């Protein structure tokens, strides 16, 4: 994380913690968040951009239940350790990729890809293989389990 030296402000802590779930579903979500936090919409947007630039968050957007809107798959790649970060950046650049993460396994890079339909999904998977120069294994969902990935963040330091 390149923001390791950046000490989070109270506002940033609230943005990271309070809106993991229940982000306002409106045409103006950042303005709604700003009203709740007592700041301007511009302050919220600038803070979110800073959090993203410093690597605290990778994306801001909704997470839909799998295959309710479009289609999705879990994919895995076996990538040499020294190429893991650059390959992960290539994959994260695809707007169809929700998230990716490292695992301790022969297949050490895992990610979720969502697309409008099966044809588009296959095109994206093929493009990822072309751009990374690594084969991937697609693991489409067979059974749906809901896991809430939000959690209460605990801060290790106090502000003066």
CATH number, domain with residue 113: 3.30.70.3460
The answer to whether position 25 is within a domain reads yes
In total, how many domains does the chain have? 2
Q: Which residues pair with 72 in a beta bridge?
A: 114
The answer to whether position 146 is within a domain reads no
pLDDT of the residue at 56: 85
pLDDT of the residue at 85: 95
Quick check: is 99 catalytic?
A: yes
* Ordered DSSP codes for 27-86: S-HHHHHHHHHTS-HHHHHHHHHHHHHTTS-S--S--PPTTTSSEEEEEEE---GGGHHH
pLDDT of the residue at 136: 97
Q: Are residues 95 and 128 in the same domain?
A: yes
Q: Are residues 82 and 123 in the same domain?
A: yes
Quote the domain boundaries for residue 35: 10-53
The answer to whether position 44 is within a domain reads yes
As averages over each run of 10 residues, the pLDDT of the chain (160 residues) reads 68 86 86 95 95 84 68 94 96 91 94 93 98 96 67 57
Which residue in the list 6, 82, 89, 99 is annotated as catalytic? 99
């Amino acid at each position: 994380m390149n923001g390791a030296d950046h000490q989070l402000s109270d506002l940033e802590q609230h943005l990271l913690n309070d809106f993991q779930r229940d982000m306002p579903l409106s045409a103006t979500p950042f303005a709604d968040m700003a009203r709740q936090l007592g700041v301007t919409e511009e302050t919220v947007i600038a803070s979110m951009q800073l959090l993203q630039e410093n690597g605290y968050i990778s994306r801001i957007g909704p997470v839909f239940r799998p295959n309710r809107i479009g289609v999705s798959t879990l994919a895995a790649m076996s990538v040499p350790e020294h190429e893991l970060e650059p390959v992960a950046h290539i994959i994260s650049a695809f707007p169809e990729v929700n998230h990716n993460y490292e695992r301790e396994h022969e297949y050490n890079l895992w990610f979720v890809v969502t697309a409008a339909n099966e044809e588009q999904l296959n095109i994206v998977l093929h493009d990822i293989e072309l751009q990374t120069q690594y084969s991937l294994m697609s693991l489409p969902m067979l059974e749906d389990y809901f896991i809430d990935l939000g959690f209460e963040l605990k801060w290790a330091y106090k502000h003066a």
